[in-house]
A and B are shown apart, each in its own frame.
Chain A
Amino acid sequence: MSGFLAIRAIAKRWSSDVAVGPITLDIARGEILALLGPSGSGKTTMLRLLAGFEAADAGRIAVGDEDVTAMPPARRRIGMVFQHYALFPHLDVGDNIAFGLHGGGGAAVEQKVLQALALVDLAGFERRRVHELSGGQQQRVALARALAPEPRVLLLDEPLSNLDPALRERTRRELRQVIKRIGITTVFVTHEQEEAFDLGDRIAVLNGGRLEQVGVADELYERPVNLFVATFVGRANVFRGRAARDLGGDQTPDGQVLVVRPERLQFGASGLPGMVREVRYTGPATFFLVEGEEGERFEVLAQPDAARIDERVHVAATRVIVLPEPGTRR
């Protein structure tokens, strides 16, 4: 398959030991792709390569069959929302949005500004000063400004990191609604798994400049291809040696590790023995921190009354993921 946004073996070398890529990715028209990874994983570099702010050392980028690899940012017709929004402080909201609109005369521009503002639910804000807006409003203005010139692709750099947590979830839903309504192909960067799952159609996990896995949320969660993805996406207990054999039976040969999600562990009459060391109540369920006999520590998600602190318990797994030990990579 060749996507609307096609990334072919793109690579950027910063120094002898810091490099991003080569990465190949296809993003379908209208799809929202999340670039997920810890800091330094190369996700922001990827976004800047797509925008054209960085020049690739190798590989190609194409938008709708047009090769844009050598094209300057101004001609790529790719909209971008910056992490800190980069709203022009010397212009008001309306002029910020009109910045990327050319031609068609003043009335046409005016019309598009109003449309863009209506789209992000900020009608009537066109003559406001940028610094008078709240963080959430600034974020929406930045989105309206990026969308107003009708770009082919929308890029978002940590779009929600500047908002307080209470606002974040609501904004996330609204953002997804707006993007889906206009059907624009979107790539966004985040270091939060929850945000990637909630906002993205598919998620690309990056680590150390390499693409580890691409897939929909449950694929990444249930079938991670390696230990990094398993532990970075969602909570995971990692078992080795005897504990792994106790839990997974004979499924774990040498050089393999066993990964079990906390909700896939349960207390029972038999299984891996251990002692409950901490209990963390989170409302719907409770995390029990259990210490095994060899000093290994792991989390069990269960009902609040399932165990007490300092209680001796046995733990069994309902579903396990077997992965190669890092370093013995394919």
Chain B
Amino acid sequence: MSRARWTLAIAIALTVLLAWLVLYPIAVVGAEATNATAWHDFVTRPGEWAALWASLWISLASVVLAAAIGIPLAFLFEWFDFPGRKTLGALIALPVVLPPLVGVIAFLFLYGESGFVARAIQALFKLEHAPWELQGPLAILLVHAYSMYVYFYLFTRAGLARLDVSMLEAAQALGADRRGTLWRVVVPLLRPSLAGAAILTFMTSLGSFSAPYIFGGGFRVMTTQIVATKLNGDLPLAMVETVVLAAVAVVALLILRRTEGNDILVALGKGIAPRPRPIRRAGVRRLTTIAGWGLAVLLLLPHLTLGLVSLVPYGAWTTEILPPVINFDNYRRLLSEAERLRPLLNSLWMASASTAAAVLLALVAGWLVVRRRVAPLLRRMIEGLLVLPWALPGTVFAIALAIAFSTNAPLQLRFVLVGTAVILPLAYLVRGLPLTGRGLLAAYRQLDPSLEEAAASLGAGRWRTLARVTLPQLRPGLAAGASLAFVAALGDIVASIVLYTYETRPISIEILSSLRLAETGVAAAFGVVLMIVSAVVLGVGARR
């Protein structure tokens, strides 16, 4: 076969594989969600509409809250200089190392009705009951704001760092004052960053499962509603709910994408970002530093709480404000009891396998899309399939995989995978594809083709060029995407809760069952392990 034919064959194979992984299960659910009774149930039950509405308004409110916290912080840290700016600026992004479920249980231990804060207040004022219950929409919003303001913070900072200082100077030279410059130049130029953060926050909230699951109580959003319906065994209704959530997500994404605008906002000149301005007034500077450290402590409290709770042995802590005993009992149990070690090993191997597969697929896709002359239609299909899982909540994929792969129909490319060890890595792979795919495509596009040509002209063969030139150049993008995918898989609960079996149960499921047995120490120890592994992996992935 000629080289062009080989390329075409590989491109078609990849497209089919991606379509089978990403599109096919959704299509199966769409085709099978035709049960008239289920649709009737969905339309007539007020609970369904309430959950749908709750999903939407929680997501919108999360965007508003996250923006209100993240944007001012980004301006503060990017434009002003004060003692501790660098350290604090990095600390403030720390909520990202908490996988969603771990963040939620940390909040539970900290602000829940029997958490530290509630206990302290109860003891202080000698109350008979806990002063509050951490439940319902406010609790969910609190967690969302905490974990998602980071998107606005990071996106806005990145946008500000790309801003060309001569744009600001040009505005001033044309007579614009500080406010005029902000509203007429800075904000419009930041629009893509802000819109990107808003889209990410909205989509993450829409797909958020841990917070509504733990804190929702009777308050249901679509993700928890779907899982509850599925657990009740009403599969037709679960399918209908899944289709509705998927449709809402796609429509929301299409609407939100319009806010990004199609402007080419890259600065035309060489962007040199403005240097941070020292805060001159000593009082203001001191206040900013103090407030910054206060904020950092507040943001780190959940991490610290988790660490402390993980050191409290089972049953040792009842009514005291602070735990009376601390030791490493929980960690010892976690590593020595086979039934507790297993979820840890499960999660590690499943996350590794799915990440490796996601990287490999992304590499092939990047090579085809950027380097080879694949027909534009195929190229668009490959790119679209790679990012599609990002547009849909994880619950949608979990249900879709559960339904598509619980039937044996080889001619329809359907096999019984549910209940096997394959299904969870497969689900993680689907969720990881957009992360590795985006990272790698971006890196591939920035890669100067003349580097590969130079290697070839110096006598390096195809594989030597790949190993010595291409892969090292792609490494940062690859590592960033892979670390995100690995961390997402390691901490996943959305897909796991629908698809796990006892043998393949991952850490998140073990955390839930420990909580149910009131083994908070073990749950926290698992949380700490997840947190540390995530932080290390993300740290390695972010290295240049």
Contact = CB atoms under 8 A, between A and B. Distances in A.
A84, A90, A138 — which one has the most chain B CB atoms within 10 A of its CB? A90
Nearest to A84: B269
A33 interface: no
Contact of B175 (A74, A83, A88, A91): A74
A82 B268 contact: no
A86 B174 CA distance: 12
Nearest to A77: B175
Nearest to B266: A89
Interface in B164-190: 164, 166-167, 169-177, 184-185, 188-189
Nearest to B263: A90
Contacts of B364: none
Given A74-B177, A130-B268, A149-B175, A88 B185 contact: yes
A90 B173 contact: no
Nearest to B164: A86
A32 interface: no
A72 B169 CA distance: 11
Contacts of A202: none
B268 A89 contact: yes
B166 A86 contact: yes
B264 A89 contact: yes
Contacts of B169: 51, 53, 73, 80, 82, 86
A129 B268 CA distance: 12
Interface string A23-57: 00000000000000000000000000001110000
B173 A51 contact: yes
Contact of A100 (B175, B189, B270): B175
Given A82-B166, A82-B170, A131-B264, A89 B175 contact: no
A86 B189 contact: no
From A77, A87, A88, A149, name the one whose CB has the most chain B CB atoms within 10 angstroms. Answer: A88
A127 interface: no
A241 B247 CA distance: 88
B422 interface: no
A78 interface: yes
Nearest to B188: A90
Contact of B174 (A52, A53, A145): A145
A131 B172 CA distance: 22
A138 B177 contact: no
B267 interface: yes
A257 interface: no
B230 interface: no
Contacts of A82: 166, 169-170, 269
Contacts of A100: 173-176
B27 interface: no
A229 B318 CA distance: 85
Nearest to A148: B174
20 contacts: A51-B169, A74-B172, A75-B175, A77-B175, A80-B173, A84-B166, A84-B270, A85-B269, A86-B170, A88-B167, A88-B170, A88-B189, A89-B263, A89-B268, A90-B189, A100-B173, A102-B175, A131-B264, A145-B174, A149-B174
